Amino acid sequence: MPRFRYSIALLLNTLGLTLGLAAIRPSLALAPRLETSHPIFVELNYVGALKELYELRDRVHMELKALPEASPKQDIGALSPYLSLAHLTHRVAQRIQTEEKAEAAYHRAIELGHQALSTRSSGRGSLSALKQEEFLWKAAIKRLATIPPESLLADQATAKRQQYEWIVEPISVKIDLAQSGFLKEIAAQTGLPQRVRISVCHISGECRNYQGDRPPASPASLIKLPIAVVLMHKVMTEGVDLDTRVYIEPANFTENADGAKIFIDHEYTLREIMARMIKESNNIATNQLIDFLGRDYINQTLRQMEYPVTFVDYKLVGDRIFPKNAGSKPNRTTTNELTEMMRRIYTFENPGDEEILDALVGQYDWDFGYMALKGLGPNVHWIGEKLGQNSKVIGTVVAVKIGDERYVITATIDRSADKFKLRRIIRGVVEHILEEGDFEGVQPSRV
């Protein structure tokens, strides 16, 4: 045994020397590559189980033991058999380590899956049991994801991971519905629950929604938020200067709200056009930006940014006057996607978000979200908003600070102009957060 250990140490040291020479002067390295010259190396490519790797390891060790005692005085050529077996020892050890880790991860994932099933049978559908089951399935999925593609268990792990993802998806939906139940109650209090959409997210990304994935009858001026998001994406990715001056085409004229400051046949910087589109909900500014960006670019960018529903085609129209090239398809969005856009802006997830945030904070119209928050106490603060209203919908997406926590709330009501109902929705959401928290342990300071 001492002789065997000595030979192993010697050949490993020699291996290190050889590899070092190969790095400095390749001509000094042995050729052909020693690890490929041994038949066991070929067998490594056809191994089908960890047991077979153990058998190959034992064979390599037996061959090492059968070699005569190595001497430090032997030249590189005489040490060729030792080097070949050293390469094999290292390669087989690596494969064994990979497969042992993969096997441990796979078995642990199966155990977690069994625990999830046990939780389901004993929990009787309670919210806490659903959360625990979801946690266990997702933990199992994470374990399976650690198994590398070169592992013998890779295909098996992929199939099992897909199975677990299919199992956990409806559980996550049930949890979301249970946690979002308070929004259903708030919607019901309007007397128009089927017309209401509500989404609310903590700034961390934890969200609740009621019909938040169903597009309202129209986005109205809320569509200006995604246009601003796409504009800043273009500015930052293509190096466009926000101080670039853009001509406001007469063809983009339509009626604007009182006090709007963008006029046709004038030039303004991109920064001012975007800011006025948000602050004063300027329709002419919006129409010019649709032309500047191009409809295809807007919608491709929205898909790229993972907003699959939001769609821009139709320009903004005032009371009577339609702009030229107004579009043929209705604009579309959801309260879920608008809330996520706003959340990303307030976390500065993308370069240039501070420009949009400045415009949101400078909103001229405070009649919806801002008014809804009045009287809720010193711990509740309005921190930005974008409103929208036309003959088909009334709605807003508003950022709120409650204690030390920040939230985004989006609410719309189809076929309504009732700002008092909209305010009650926003107010009801904030009051619930103040009383219950309900965002994975987030408990804002109470009034």
How does DSSP assign 306-365, residue by residue?
T-SS-B--SPP--SSPPPTT--SS--B--HHHHHHHHHHHHTT-STTHHHHHHHHHT-S-
Provide mean pLDDT across the span 287-295.
97
Cα 103-106-108 angle, rounded to 5 deg? 110
Whole-model pTM above 0.85? no
- Whether the pLDDT of residue 76 is over 90: the answer is no
pLDDT in tens, 90-127: 777 888 888 889 999 999 999 999 999 999 888 677 88
pLDDT the model gives residue 5: 47
Give the residue-averaged pLDDT of 188-192: 96
Whose tokens are 């300027």? That residue is: 282
Among 34-43, 78-87, 179-188, 416-425, the minimum mean pLDDT is found in 34-43
Provide the pLDDT for residue 97. Answer: 87
Query: How is the chain split into domains, by residue range?
Result: 1-179, 183-436
Average pLDDT value for residue range 377-400: 96
Q: What is the mean pLDDT of residues 276-280?
A: 94
**CB atoms near residue 90 (< 10 Å):** 13
Residue 228 is predicted with a pLDDT of 97
Cα 158 from Cα 153, distance rounded (Å): 9
Cis-peptide, bond into residue 32, ω within 30° of zero:
yes
Residue 23's SS3 state is helix
- What pLDDT was estimated at residue 11? 47
Does the pLDDT at position 416 exceed 60? yes
**Residues in Cβ contact with 338 at an 8 Å cutoff, skipping those fewer than 6 apart:** 199, 222, 225, 226, 310, 397, 410
| pLDDT tens track for 233-251 | 999 999 999 999 999 999 9
| Helical ranges in 246-319 per DSSP H | 270-279, 283-293, 295-304
Gap between the Cα atoms of 345 and 358, Å rounded: 10
- pLDDT reported for residue 390: 94
> Considering only 30-39, 105-114, 279-288, 409-418, which range has the smallest mean pLDDT?
30-39
CATH topology of domain 183-436: Beta-lactamase (3.40.710)
pLDDT band at 260 (very low <50, low <70, confident <90, very high): confident
- pLDDT exceeds cutoff 50 at 445: no
Mean of pLDDT values over 411-421:
97
**CA atoms of 413 and 217, how far apart (whole Å):** 9
- Residue 309: closest CA among 444, 161, 171, 199: 199
Secondary structure of residue 139 in the 3-state scheme: helix
pLDDT of residue 200: 96
The predicted model gives 120-148 an average pLDDT of: 90
The answer to whether residue 18 scores a pLDDT higher than 60 is no
What mean pLDDT is predicted for residues 373-401?
96
Residue 216 DSSP class = P
Rounded Cα distance, 143 and 161, in Å:
9
